Structure 1
Amino acid sequence: MHVPHLPRVRPVRALLSALCSVALGAGLLAGAGATTATAAPEAPAAGAAAGSKVVGYFTEWGTYDREYHAKNIETSGSGAELTHINYAFGNVTGGKCAMGDAYAATDRAYTAAESVDGVADTWDQPLRGNFNQLLKLKKKHPGLKILWSFGGWTWSGGFAEAARNPVAFARSCHDLVENSKWADVFDGIDIDWEYPNACGPSCDTSGRDAFPELMSALRAEFGPDYLVTAAITADATPGGKIDAADYAGAAQYVDWYNPMTYDFFGAWDATGPTAPHSPLNSYSGIPKAGYHTSATIAKLKGLGIPSSKLLLGIGFYGRGWTGVTQSTPGGTATGPAKGTYENGIEDYKVLKSTCPATGTVAGTAYAKCGSDWWSYDTPQTIATKMTYKNQQGLGGTFFWELSGDTADGELIKAID
């Protein structure tokens, strides 16, 4: 994924915000970095303080029903706010990294109106699709870095086979990421393994080593000039998913972790109780102790993972129930609330007008409208989470995912 990293000069407003972060404590991270010679940290962007990473996931399938393209990143103003984009997802199959949707990634022809720079694709150009549009976005924002994320909820099944020969897996990933057709697009790789050794007591305990061995192989293959990151579980309960893999042992090989501090609660528990899916901290009546962001961060830091290698996760969407009569959290329900693409989940850009927030709890928002009950983050609750991020000295913020934000980038601007 790479050309030499260029310094990123961020907007004055973002720079001032970053300096505020230093004052609040993010500056305590200065000097924190990789713990081994093979895990060299990314050089900070010009004008950026420690703790200022803003990483957004951009979905490959957004080109279809969501009609969300790289141009939307630019027109929303998000391109000027982002430091990194995670392109989701590549597949993991046959022990190797593999293309997800080749048509969306490299073949789809963009019209002038759809293109980042207003120039239409031609039939004979060697690269089209999302990859070419992301290249155009990088030209507008020379410091922007893009990582190819592999796995995710649907495609994590292949990691077990990949872990049997991590060196071969890492080589396949490098060969794919740096394919000559798109060698200038990517600046690193992001691994989203959901979840290493999470098969319960029947697992061989030696399986805890699979994750650090995989990440070690990736670092060795990609070298110090590429970014190597991973999205990891937020389950900090005793014996939970954090305990099932050696995330602390792998920390020396990654530039940072993205703990997925959302989806703690949702309408997979169809009758409730209703609960915010991304609470910052605990509250009276929380359905499961330890299911909140601050518990996740405390657990990972307690394992010895540097604060600078932990990013705060935010969801740009809500989770909700229907058949609810109680306005505050803890009510019963009859099932998931109706969503645009999937019941029980809805983008922030929709919820902000269809079911505006009616209250806050545990550093996040909730809303009761009719018999529906939703929880989601707003610009105001994101500001609260940014204060927490700075106080904890975390390396920055990441979010899932860009298309959930408003057309003018309301949530990402609250992060910055």
Structure 2
Amino acid sequence: MRIRSAVLALLLLALAACQATPRPAPAPDHRSSVLAGYYTEWAGYGRGYRVADVEATGAARRLTHLLYAFGKVDGGECGVGDAWAAYQKPIAAMDSVDGAADDADTPLRGNFGQLRKLKATYPDLKILWSFGGWTWSSGFTEAARDPERFARSCRALVEDPRWAGLFDGIDVDWEYPNACGLTCDTSGREALPRMLTALRAAFGAGAVVTAAVPGDVTKLRATDYRAAAGQVDWLSAMTYDYFGAGSASGGRTAPHSPLSAYPGIPRTTSTTESTVNELLALGVPASKVLVGVGFYGRGWTGVNGATPGGTATGPAPGTYEKGMEDYKVLVARCPPTGTIGGTAYAVCGSQWWSYDTPSTVRGKLAYAKSQKLRGMFAWELSGDSRDGALLAAAAG
């Protein structure tokens, strides 16, 4: 009887201890539909697109998440890309979200100061700091050697006291893990999952952690994206840039972001549908996939045919880069003349362009919904028209 009483007493003490120990709060439910858009750090220079324009075009009220691109990855750690643009540059009243100019006493200036003002007006808008991108992805190879150190540096930077509370999480844009982009990486199939696991541990369950993933199905097979998906809120599939002047289209015209295959497509796997199907086949849940839409077009010059597959002499001239132009420019200068594979194309003179329109964006949104995907994202906001036509279509 005494033994039983002692055992009972111990059980009661253990129960009391468990009840007294605070339990961690459950992770918030991030499973609602997502409409994300990238804002580039350099947009305020030659492009003249400022944080205030995110509101002026209607993007701020439509987006669920804004991704600020890019922070750099250097020396195995996260770093600021352009400090002047990010938080040092004084913003004039005419360029400010609230019409108030920065002065010498303004504690946080530049894009970060404006993003803070934007967030005050739209408190439900989540803002993530994206690291890497095409130019800075080579730094991920060193970061992958010590993912915990990398994650600690990222959290310290994202939560820096100078802009504490501005960012709701982090986005990783590694182009590409265990594959080739601007440079080639051989970190192994588990490098990205290990990095994302470290970031999730560092930032906690309540933060938003995301990653961009390639549209190329071959590159998708080089990394364990199923394991990666287990650590993030979503994976953003870069379902654009499948073709372009000088690419594997063989020098012939082809839309750069088809939703589906069409007769004569240079590679049948270079479509949004193929990318999504590959991710699902790899074990990534549909609820963890975003479809990407490019707010720009790719073009050829010296073209001999109105439909895809015509020969060309090279890339068409572009404002910032050969063979590329913003949607807002193309829709006025070279309006659509046809659609194929769920995207649009346009012929004007000797030039041939492909780009998405509000109509084709709505088609991609319908596809995402039919597959029960998490949502869509845009690269990048400055390419949209002043009335935000593309983002409005993506919002449904």
Give the TM-score taking structure 2 as reference length: 0.90
Alignment match, 1:229: 210
Identity %: 58
Alignment match, 2:363: 384
| 1:358-403 deviation line (CA, Å, top 9, x unaligned) | 0000000000110000000000111111110110001011010000
Which of 216, 235, 244 is the aligned partner of 1:257? Answer: 235
SS of equivalent residue, structure 1 residue 380: helix
Alignment match, 1:288: 267
Residues 67 and 353 of structure 1, relative CA distance in 2, 3 Å threshold: same
Alignment match, 1:13: none
Q: Provide the rounded CA distance (Å) in 2 between the counterparts of 1:266 and 1:144.
A: 34
Residues 276 and 53 of structure 1, relative CA distance in 2, 3 Å threshold: same
Within-5 A mapping of 1:295-306: 295-306=274-285
Alignment match, 2:111: 130
Within-5 A mapping of 1:282-361: 282-361=261-340
Query: Deviation of residue 289 (structure 1)?
Result: 2.1
8 A Cα contact 2:63 2:125, kept in partner: yes
Q: Provide the rounded CA distance (Å) in 2 between the counterparts of 1:146 and 1:168.
A: 23
Query: Deviation of residue 288 (structure 1)?
Result: 1.2
Alignment match, 1:5: none
Residues 249 and 165 of structure 1, relative CA distance in 2, 3 Å threshold: same
SS of equivalent residue, structure 2 residue 162: coil
| 1:106-162 deviation line (CA, Å, top 9, x unaligned) | 011111111001111111222100001001111111100000000000000000000
Query: Deviation of residue 42 (structure 1)?
Result: 4.2
Which of 37, 62, 70 is the aligned partner of 2:43? Answer: 62
Alignment match, 1:22: none
Alignment match, 1:97: 78
Code of the residue aligned with 1:196 in structure 2: it is P
Q: Provide the rounded CA distance (Å) in 1 between the counterparts of 2:81 and 2:26.
A: 28
Q: Provide the rounded CA distance (Å) in 1 between the counterparts of 2:30 and 2:296.
A: 32
8 A Cα contact 2:97 2:114, kept in partner: yes
Alignment match, 1:173: 154
Q: Provide the rounded CA distance (Å) in 2 between the counterparts of 1:256 and 1:169.
A: 20
Alignment match, 2:393: 414
Whether 1:197 aligns to 2:150 is no
Code of the residue aligned with 2:115 in structure 1: it is L
8 A Cα contact 1:256 1:311, kept in partner: yes
Q: Provide the rounded CA distance (Å) in 2 between the counterparts of 1:389 and 1:132.
A: 34
8 A Cα contact 1:39 1:219, kept in partner: no
Alignment match, 2:219: 241
* Runs of 4+ more than 3 Å apart: 37-44
Code of the residue aligned with 1:300 in structure 2: it is L
Q: Provide the rounded CA distance (Å) in 1 between the counterparts of 2:288 and 2:279.
A: 10
Mark the runs of 5 or more structure 1 residues left unpaired by the alignment: 1-36, 45-49
| 1:322-368 deviation line (CA, Å, top 9, x unaligned) | 00010000011001001111110000000001000000000000001
Q: Provide the rounded CA distance (Å) in 1 between the counterparts of 2:321 and 2:377.
A: 23
Higher relative CO (Cα under 8 Å, sequence separation at least 6) belongs to 1
8 A Cα contact 1:42 1:255, kept in partner: no
Alignment match, 1:267: 245
Alignment match, 1:156: 137
Code of the residue aligned with 2:64 in structure 1: it is T
Alignment match, 1:83: 64
Q: Provide the rounded CA distance (Å) in 2 between the counterparts of 1:39 and 1:162.
A: 30
Higher Rg? 2
8 A Cα contact 2:177 2:185, kept in partner: no
8 A Cα contact 1:189 1:229, kept in partner: yes
8 A Cα contact 1:109 1:121, kept in partner: yes
Alignment match, 1:3: none
Q: Provide the rounded CA distance (Å) in 1 between the counterparts of 2:67 and 2:169.
A: 9
Give the TM-score taking structure 1 as reference length: 0.86
8 A Cα contact 2:59 2:391, kept in partner: yes
8 A Cα contact 1:266 1:344, kept in partner: yes
Code of the residue aligned with 1:143 in structure 2: it is D
8 A Cα contact 2:76 2:140, kept in partner: yes
Q: Provide the rounded CA distance (Å) in 1 between the counterparts of 2:56 and 2:366.
A: 28
8 A Cα contact 1:234 1:259, kept in partner: yes
8 A Cα contact 2:97 2:117, kept in partner: yes
Mark the runs of 5 or more structure 2 residues left unpaired by the alignment: 1-23
8 A Cα contact 1:323 1:335, kept in partner: yes
